A and B are shown apart, each in its own frame.
Chain A
Amino acid sequence: MSLRKRLSRTAGLSLALSLAVGSLLPLSVQAVEDLEKEDLKFGFIKLTDMAPLAIAYEKGFFEDEGLYVSLEAQANWKVLLDRVIDGELDGAHMLAGQPLGATIGFGTQADIITAFSMDLNGNGITVSNDVWAQMKKHIPLDADGKPQHPISAAALKPVIEQYRADGKPFNMGMVFPVSTHNYELRYWLAAGGIHPGYYAPHKGDTSGQIDAQALLSVTPPPQMPATLEAGTIYGYCVGEPWNQQAVFKGIGVPVITDYEIWKNNPEKVFGVSQAWADENPNTHIAVVKALIRAAAWLDADNNANRGEAVEILSQPAYVGADAEVIANSMTGTFEYEKGDVRQVPDFNVFFRYNATYPYYSDAIWYLTQMRRWGQIGQAQPDSWYMDVAKKVYRPDIYAQAAQELIDEGTLPAEAFPDFASETGFKPVTSEFIDGVSYDGSQPNAYLQQFEIGLKGDTQL
């Protein structure tokens, strides 16, 4: 059925719906009959940025779209991706790099797409107390005698050099080879002059430790604090609540948030397999609609609903950590060193700044990082980056879902980008910790600006 037909049929209900936004809707009935599949199972990892899924479920947004969804926590990112590929899961909360990595065949080869970006920011880098004590000597203090933020990895460099001089490898954790966290940690380290190592998949090297000064390895998010405590790693990059957990447990100190590494960086996405999307186009739109509403709810009225969201997320079936730990980052503050609580109002952004729109330029940034660290072994032309981005990121599906919400009166058109003129490229930005400017339409030129990292025709 065409979009026009669907819309005309739903128009009558829009008035009633517009009155009920944010509360449990009266039985909405639009589009329900066209759904190819009504019983869905979505996977997620225990992280606060899965919130749109939990909210869409708990607030009944899925049911409003006629969807009966069950949410299932997955053991790690690899299992989650595999289960989406083999169809056990209809879709999942994913690392932005996962659909891209799978599509270009790094790690796993499969066609995964995304029409919904789940959030901006939300991660942090934590080091152990011991490392923090050594780093602190190299960090300038501000007027209050507190460490000056953002903290550069340059302060970590002498510590790593000391470890290396003592013959001890400096191990750090991230959550997955194509994770935002891997790229953020690498970005931060490299910006501070520390080499995080290259991948060379064409030679069978997928450990990413060639030439590395800091050795990065994979640890599932919820196990990060325990691994740090055990001394296997000296620091990690992970999403919330696992940085604040380290503070509460007194085992580590978050040194920087990803907001300070790249202001309003894209983070998780909602991924489905291409095959699933082809078979269930209407269902896909209904899912995206519910997720958009959930994201809007999370950011509505200047984060007024975050307290309720924290309560929901602290349920054992979702994130399950203590509510006070989750609340720390979800309500716009972040605790660095114990007692050093600072305001980071945009620590977790779910809707404002068009957070949910899948921008091609976001996809291309991830691809540039895959190239920078050798996950993409050979040089590729700019057009290749664009082609991959267009294959994986699907703003067209997003736009259909958003249009339905606008027509129903659920959300105003101003809440979304202007779809008629939107190119899918965010304006050029230099809001990175190293001040390098990023233009999504020039990936190769972007890579040229980095001192550490592959660029041009370089091949390992």
Chain B
Amino acid sequence: MSNKLINYLETAGLNWAVPVVRLCRGEDAREQANELFTKVGLPLIAVLVFLLVWSIGASQVNTSLGELPGPAAVWQQAGNLYEEHQVQREKAEAFYQRQEERNAAKLERDPNAEVRIRDYTGKPTFIDQIATSLLTVFTGFLLASLIAIPVGVACGLSPKLYGAISPLVQIFKPVSPLAWLPIVTMVVSAVYISDDPLFQKSFITSAVTVTLCSLWPTLINTAVAVASIDKDWINVGRVIRLNWRTQVFKIAIPAALPMIFTGLRLSLGVGWMVLIAAEMLAQNPGLGKFVWDEFQNGSSDSLGRIMVAVITIGIIGFLLDWLMVTLQSLLSHQKPAGH
């Protein structure tokens, strides 16, 4: 039973909890305490030291917006941001209420009148911006994966194809998102024309920029992984006359899965970084825009609010990585590196 639990914890990347389980099971207390100290105690101490250094350091720096906020000020701003979110929600409720009353009045006068309920027109809050950024990064990442994995597999199976597109990959891979952005913006504006668009243009622009920048790690890792599969396995496939589909799905992809996941993990990390930069530059909705707006506001709360955003961006990036690692250990039955 507890072995199974330990297994779960390890799969989920919650290694630090393992010693606790072992302790409960009555294993050697000294050894487990030691383990716990390494896995929980030391990181905790590091965080505390960091907070201490931050709060002392911050009080030494005087910007034109006042003292650099320390951990306490940032924590307080986080609370404010949440409160603002609540206030906006209430305003949104009232907004919908007013609309319904208006629509009812309209229908009363003219039963055939066309009425509809509009989305709230108020400003997105910090929490809304987080949701927007997450949605955008996953859209871009999914799009990138849908292109990169098949192309990568094809390249891995066919050295000629790999040779053919390799120069393109090498040239496009190092291009910064900030260079792509103007092109993507212009192209999306020109191509994506609709009276009642399903997605906002800015969302498409951000997502496509993420796609362009997060294609490469997955593509390259997939290609290399597929190309370096043990040749015997492919040969066996040939001998028992598997059709190409079965060869791809039963041999190539499973064998290459660990590296594909490494590629995906890198891609998602790149995508998240790219997204924030793109949002800042293009003023597209999301956390990047939040940071830029606050910078422009220049109120005495701004720095604290930006720091809340920075920490949030970091934590989300960390969670995204953790998510990929967990997915990988669930799907590929191999312990990924750095786990």
Contacts and interface: CB of A to CB of B under 8 A. Distances in A.
A73 interface: yes
Contact of A319 (B121, B297, B305): B297
Contacts of B123: 71, 316-317
A222 B64 contact: no
Interface residues of A, number: 38
B28 interface: no
B299 A314 contact: yes
Nearest to B289: A73
B317 to A, nearest CB: 24
Given A27-B105, A229-B64, A320 B121 contact: no
Contacts, number: 75
B293 interface: yes
B76 to A, nearest CB: 15
A360 B202 CA distance: 37
A86 B98 CA distance: 32
28 contacts: A27-B98, A27-B101, A27-B105, A29-B109, A46-B297, A63-B102, A69-B121, A70-B121, A71-B123, A74-B283, A79-B283, A88-B201, A222-B296, A223-B296, A225-B64, A229-B64, A245-B298, A250-B64, A251-B64, A316-B123, A316-B294, A317-B123, A319-B297, A320-B294, A320-B299, A321-B299, A322-B300, A325-B299
A32 interface: yes
Contact of B298 (A39, A66, A320): A320
A20 interface: no
B59 to A, nearest CB: 18
Nearest to A70: B121
Interface of A: 27, 29, 32-33, 38-39, 46, 57, 60, 63, 66, 68-71, 73-75, 79, 86, 88, 222-223, 225-226, 229, 245, 249-251, 314, 316-317, 319-322, 325
A86 B118 contact: no
B106 interface: yes
A320 B106 CA distance: 37
B106 A222 contact: no
B24 interface: no
B113 A33 contact: yes
Nearest to B118: A68
B123 to A, nearest CB: 4
A437 to B, nearest CB: 39
Contacts of A316: 84, 123, 293-294, 297, 299, 305
A245 B64 CA distance: 9
Contacts of A39: 118
B189 interface: yes
B242 interface: no
A226 B298 CA distance: 9
